[in-house]
Chain A
Amino acid sequence: MPTRKTMGQNLFEKVWDAHAVRSLTNGQTQLLIGTHLIHEVTSPQAFGMLRDLGLKVKYPSRTFATVDHIVPTDQRVEPFSDPLADAMIRELRKNTDEFGVTYFDLATGKQGIVHVVGPEQGITQPGTTIACGDSHTATHGAFGAIAFGIGTTQVRDVLATQTIALGKLKVRRINVEGALSPGVYAKDVIMHIIAKLGAKGGIGYAYEYGGSLLESFSMEERMTVCNMSIEGGARCGYVNPDDKTFEYLRGRPYSPDGVDWDNAVEGWRSIASDDDCNYDDIVNIRAEEIAPTVTWGVSPDQAFSINGILPDPGTAASEAERLSIDEALDYMQLEPGAAIKGTKVDVAFLGSCTNGRLSDFREVAKYIKGHKVAAGVMAIAVPGSQIVDVLARKEGLHEVFIEAGFEWRGAGCSMCLAMNPDKLVGDQLCASSSNRNFKGRQGSPSGRTVLMSPVMVAAAAVSGVISDAREVFQVEQAST
Chain B
Amino acid sequence: MPLERIAQVSGSAVYVPGNDIDTDRIIPARFMKCVTFDGLGEYLFHDVRKNEEGIDRDHPLNDVRFSGASILITNANFGCGSSREHAPQALYRFGFRAVIAESFADIFFGNCTTLGMPCAVAAAGDVSALAAAVEETPAAPITIDVEGRRVSGAGLDFSVNIPPAAHDALISGQWDPIAELQEGNAAVADRISELGYLAQGQ
Contacts and interface: CB of A to CB of B under 8 A. Distances in A.
Interface of A: 18-19, 21-22, 24-28, 30, 32, 34, 41-42, 44-45, 48, 53, 58-59, 61-62, 69-70, 82, 84-85, 87-88, 91, 125, 127-128, 133-135, 148-154, 156-157, 160-167, 199-200, 203-204, 230-231, 233, 235, 256, 260, 263-264, 267, 299, 320, 323-324, 327, 417-419, 436, 438-441, 443, 445-446
A164 B75 CA distance: 29
Contacts of B35: 44-45, 48, 87-88, 91
Nearest to B124: A320
A58 B186 CA distance: 12
Given A22-B187, A45-B35, A154-B114, A200 B81 contact: no
B52 interface: yes
A128 B192 CA distance: 12
A32 B165 contact: no
A300 to B, nearest CB: 9
Contacts of A135: 81-83, 107
Of A26, A152, A446, the most chain B CB neighbours within 10 A belong to A26
Interface string B159-190: 00001111111001010111011101101100
A160 B181 CA distance: 9
Of B33, B37, B192, the most chain A CB neighbours within 10 A belong to B33
B188 A161 contact: yes
Contacts of A264: 196-197
Given A53-B178, A446-B52, A21 B188 contact: yes
B188 A153 contact: no
**Sorted from nearest, which 7 A-B pairs have the closest CB atoms?**
A149-B83, A151-B111, A151-B85, A445-B47, A84-B33, A44-B35, A200-B77
B172 A25 contact: yes
Contact of B184 (A21, A53, A260, A446): A21
A238 to B, nearest CB: 16
A44 B36 contact: yes
B103 interface: yes
B105 A200 contact: yes
B28 A440 contact: yes
B130 to A, nearest CB: 16
Interface in B63-113: 75-77, 80-86, 88, 103-107, 110-111
A85 B167 CA distance: 39
Interface in B3-62: 17-20, 22, 24-25, 28-30, 32-37, 47-48, 52
Given A22-B184, A32-B191, A230-B81, A200 B103 contact: yes
Contacts of B111: 151-154
Contact of B84 (A19, A26, A34, A42): A42
Contacts of A30: 180-181, 184, 187-188
B192 to A, nearest CB: 7
